[in-house]
Amino acid sequence: MGGASLVSATAIAALVTPLVGHWARRRGWLDQPHGTAGHKTHEVPTPLGGGIALFLAIVLPMVLMLLAATLAMRWPIETAGEAPSAMPLWRAWAGGAIQKIPQTLALIAGGVVMHVLGLLDDRRPIPASVKLLVQIAVALALTVGFGIRAGEALGPVGAVVLTSMWIVAITNAFNFLDNMDGLTAGVAAIAGIVLAASSVLVGQVFVPCLLLLVAGAALGFLRYNFPPASIFMGDAGSLVIGYFLAVSSVLTTYYDPDLQRTPFGVLVPLVVFAVPLYDMSSVVINRYRRGVSIFASDRHHFSHRLVRLGMSRRIAVLTIYLATAATALPAMLLPYANWAGAIVIVAQCACVLALIAILESRDGPW
């Protein structure tokens, strides 16, 4: 199932992206270079709307999976043409998918809201406060209405607050990260694959499939978005990617004593998303110190600083891919680590972030 999710999402994104790009260009839906805010780095008008392809590549297979599970459960066992020993496998899969229909539909509904919000913002900028309120509303709907939350040890209220803040933070981290061609898509692919592998190790099925849908969509889109990009994902794509990664990370099991997974596993998402979270935090601090809106666009992201240090855009993006992989890959070992191992993994992540901070300092203070 995981391989099918990755391949199907990659194929859909790769096929739909050029079609959306052609449609956007014909309708004049283009991102013009050298915007008034001075943060745009592309040199020619570039089609927007890539987020549509990303959204379809993630959501369409989810809908088809639910339909297939529903039909499978209605298929009589005695006429299925399968060996009796094989029946429990597909019946168990279908039964599990049916049980997750309410949760899956809630996830899709939240994705639809994020996608529409992004589309509207791509067409005509929406006030940051409105976007934030919508994101909070979606997060609360999932955590309160459908029980998708982490940190249950904090109690119902604490778990809702913590999980809602996490969903909003990761959603915005990937939105902030969409500041250079190919950056958000590549980092999302790495994070999605690593988290999927972590969830597979504990025996989960639904979560790794969802994560590989996100990773596959990002990889299929990256074919057209890697520098120099021929199409942009816009907020319609970055908000969707961040949202699905955030919710998937909440649904992943990190601590299970029965499977010898230690409590250090709860650090996995923090380490996997360390680079996007660092980038968002650094630019927010920078904007606050300069007395401008934290949502104002600028060229103070890590990627922009690397370019000013002399790197090409491609090399800068590949450098951030490498930094993401360097922090994310060891995170898979955290659920099985003792104190010493966990300290080493977290220390390595801190060292990578410190290297990023040193490189940024060469371009001037935050």
Average pLDDT over residues 107-121: 97
* pLDDT for 198 beyond 70: yes
Tokens 């309708």 label which residue? 27
Kindly state the tokens that stand for 274: 């360390």
Beta-carbon neighbour count of residue 142 at 10 Å?
A: 25
* pLDDT for 67 beyond 80: yes
Q: What are phi and psi of 151, to 5 degrees?
A: 70, 40
Q: b/e for 334-351, b at 16 or more Cβ within 10 A?
A: bbebeeeebeebbebbee
Quick one: pLDDT at residue 84?
47
Q: What CA–CA distance (Å, rounded) separates 288 from 305?
A: 18
- Nearest CA to 350 out of 267, 284, 287, 288 is that of 267
Kindly state the tokens that stand for 100: 């997750």
Q: What is the pTM of this model?
A: 0.91
pLDDT band at 152 (very low <50, low <70, confident <90, very high): confident
Quick one: pLDDT at residue 42?
59
Q: Specify which residues 46 forms β-bridges with.
A: 31
Average pLDDT over residues 230-259: 90
pLDDT band at 364 (very low <50, low <70, confident <90, very high): low
pLDDT band at 73 (very low <50, low <70, confident <90, very high): low
Q: Is 298 helix (H, G, I), strand (E, B) or coil?
A: coil
Question: Which residues are CB-neighbours of 41 under 8 A, at least 6 positions away?
Answer: 180, 299, 304, 307, 313
155-168 pLDDT, tens digit each:
999 999 999 999 99
Q: Please enumerate, as own/partner, the contacts of 117-121 that have beta carbons within 8 Å and a separation of 24 or more.
A: 117/235, 117/239, 118/51, 118/234, 118/235, 118/236, 118/237, 118/238, 118/239, 118/240, 119/51, 119/52, 119/234, 119/235, 119/236, 121/234, 121/235, 121/236
